[in-house]
Amino acid sequence: MAAAESPAEQAGDQAGQSAAQRAAQAGTIAIRTKALTKRYGEFTAVDKLDLSVKQGEVYGLLGPNGAGKTTTILMLLGLTEPTSGTARVIDLDPARNPLAVKRHVGYLPDAVGFYGGMSGRQNLRYTARLNSIDKKVADERIDNLLTRVGLARAGDNKVDTYSRGMRQRLGLADVLVKDPSIVILDEPTTAIDPAGVIEVLELVRELARDGAAVLLASHLLHQVQQVCDRVGIFVGGKLVAHGTMDKLAGELGTGPIEIEIQAGPELEAVRRVAAAVVGVTRAELDPRDSRTVVAFAESDVRADLATALVQAGHPPSHLRRRGDELDEVYRRYFAANEPAPAAEVAA
């Protein structure tokens, strides 16, 4: 961490403000959109989007492929003009001041690419030159970033020899070369192995702790939910729900809850025990999984179920409430908001 902070501070005057300054400003609005809309002919890719992301926060923009996430990001960067509505990024309009916006926003595109014939370090140097960063400052910063993303040794190899995970990590380093105060990551965890995902997410967390605003677009919510302060569920160009994850889960928490039980091979006996527990309306064998019994209950009676099962001589090996994880939330939203066929095509 300390190693990563020092170049950021040295280059503070270059990028406008240092990481420390940004941390002090945590909480100010970094990105705000009002009724942002983008239409391609008949097809509405983004429909009246209202979004705000604060400094020092990780915002997860979650939605299936073709939901309009990338289109939204391109509008925030001034790479596509909105059909209507406004976007403000660090108090600038990206459609009118794209250069100033792009100087402060680091963007990791979906399926990021690099010049294969150049080394990782040369690719980062090119980015630094495009950002008019002084060569000495840039070299030092690149050294630190390569170490930070675990490419210190591979930095001088050609990118052609990199694995996809290495490219993704190089992409993160590339985003940070300009010491951005806003970081936009489009599907940063696809195509990398689980260990790589954890590393990437830790880095995202660190960035937010340093005061950057992070907008993370992904369809792999179970991977990103742990680092997001707030999430927005984005389906068919519309933000169908947003807030903290607890809030989203709470909104959907009404109605009967389902509890999965696995407690040995005597399924019928387990089912009878579960059905007898106070609060359980009924219990049945899971048609999808031959080892599991599902209990339907008015409230979360997992503790009572466990006690009853142990007393009946069927100690449970698995007891899980369905629907309290974000992907369950997400799945239900999808069921309620089937994306239009046009959205599928756009994906």
Partner 1 sequence: MTGSDAATLPGDATTRGRRRKKLRNQPGTPAPAERPVAAAEEERGLRAGWRVIAAKEFSDHILSIRFLVLTIILGLAAAAAVYATAGAIRDLASDASGSPSLFLKLFTVSRGDIPAFTTFIAFLGPLLGIAFGFDAINGERAEGTLPRLLSQPIHRDDVINGKFVAGLSAIAVIFTAVTLVVTAVGILQLGILPEPEEIARLLIWVVLAVTYVGLWLAIALLCSVVLRRAATSALVAIAVWLLVTLFATLVVGLIAGFIAPIPADAGQGSAEVLRNTALQQELARLSPSQLFEEATAAVLDPSIRTLSPGLVTAAQADRAIPSILSLGQSLLVIWPQFVALVAATAVMFALAYVSFMRQEVRA
Report the C-alpha gap between 190 and 178 in whole angstroms. 24
Nearest-approach distance from CB 110 to partner 1, in angstroms? 8
152 to 191: interface string for partner 1, x by CB under 8 A: -------------------x--x---x-------------
* Residue 16 beta carbon to partner 1: minimum distance, rounded to whole angstroms: 8
Closest CB 345 distance from partner 1, rounded Å: 14
For 38, 92, 213, 230, the CA distances from 73, given in Å and listed in that order, are: 11, 15, 14, 17
Residue of 18, 33, 72, 80 interacting with partner 1 (CB under 8 A): 80
Binding mask 30-69 for partner 1 (x = CB under 8 A): ----------------------------------------
Q: Which of 23, 26, 29, 100 binds partner 1 (CB under 8 A)?
A: 100
SS (H, E, C) the chain: CHHHHHHHHHCHHHHCCCHHHHHHCCCCEEEEEEEEEEEECCEEEEEEEEEEEECCCEEEEECCCCCCHHHHHHHHCCCCCCCEEEEEECCECCCCCHHHHHHHEEEECCCCCCCCCCEHHHHHHHHHHHCCCCHHHHHHHHHHHHHHCCCCCHHHCEHHHCCHHHHHHHHHHHHHCCCCCEEEEECCCCCCCHHHHHHHHHHHHHHHHCCCEEEEEECCHHHHHHHCCEEEEEECCEEEEEECHHHHHHHHCCCCEEEEEECCCCHHHHHHHHHHCCCEEEEEECCCCCCCEEEEECCCCHHHHHHHHHHCCCCCCEEEEECCCHHHHHHHHHHHCCCCHHHHHHC
Candidate ranges 46-54, 89-97, 232-240, 286-294; the one touching partner 1 (CB under 8 A): 89-97
Does residue 99 bind partner 1 (CB under 8 A)? yes
The answer to whether residue 113 forms part of the interface with partner 1 (CB under 8 A) is yes
Selected binder of partner 1 within 9, 20, 50, 96 (CB under 8 A): 96
Work out whether 10 is an interface residue with partner 1 (CB under 8 A). Answer: no
Q: Which is nearer to partner 1, 88 or 321 (CB)?
A: 88
- Half-sphere exposure for 184 (CA within 13 Å, toward CB): 23
User: What is the smallest separation between the CB atom of 102 and partner 1, expressed in angstroms?
Assistant: 4
Residue 273 CB, nearest approach to partner 1 (Å): 56
Nearer of residues 79 and 220 to partner 1, judged by Cβ = 79
Number of chain residues interacting with partner 1 (CB under 8 A)? 37
Q: What minimum distance in Å lies between the beta carbon of 184 and partner 1?
A: 9
Output 10 or 226, the one with its CB closest to partner 1: 10
User: Structure tokens of 65?
Assistant: 């492929």
What amino acid occupies position 271?
R
Residues 249-288 interacting with partner 1 (rule: CB under 8 A): none
247 binds partner 1 (CB under 8 A): no
Is 218 one of the binding residues for partner 1 (CB under 8 A)?
no
The one among 24, 34, 129, 266 contacting partner 1 by CB under 8 A: 129
Other C-beta atoms closer than 10 Å to the C-beta of 143 total: 16
**By C-beta, is 178 or 302 nearer to partner 1?**
178
Residues lying near partner 1 in the complex (CB under 8 A): 16, 70-71, 74, 77, 79-80, 91-93, 95-100, 102-103, 105, 107, 109, 111-117, 126-127, 129-132, 171, 174, 178
